[in-house]
Amino acid sequence: MDILQIKCDALESALSMLDQCAVECDGMSALITYVLHREGIEHVRMIGAAIDRRTHESVFPHCWIELPEIGKVIDFRLRMWLGDCDEIPHGVFSKVNEVIEYRGDVHEVAPIPKGVAQIMSDGIVDGIVFFGNEYGLKEGAKSPPG
């Protein structure tokens, strides 16, 4: 496993705490943006459509987060609309994949305030801790062998 995958796995693990929040894709994107902005992690909030390449079923409007420098998407709500099955990506994954095509534009909105994030997440955002601002690994941390 390479260091980028380890960092993405750490990011997904931390953000997965938000999966239990009673929010749809727009609320989830707002919560993720709040956390990433707080931690100084560069990202882009997006709005548009997610299309299942296999069935041509689409979700519109849909909101997600992109990490353009590394070609990753953060989406914890796609399964809400396209089915809760393993084939539908969930969490942090490659934007270029065989199942989902994302089409959209940057969603230019200010991050939500701390109090709003706390209410929307029932306080979960306060428990999300990163070890540095680069996808969950503290600078100088040793990655697992492999």
pLDDT in tens, 3-46: 888 889 989 999 999 999 999 999 999 999 999 999 888 999 99
Q: What confidence score (pLDDT) does residue 145 get?
A: 33
Q: Supply the pTM of this predicted model.
A: 0.87
CA distance 122 to 10: 22
Domain coordinates of the chain in residue numbers? Answer: 3-127
* CA geometry: angle 95, 125, 76, nearest 5 deg: 30
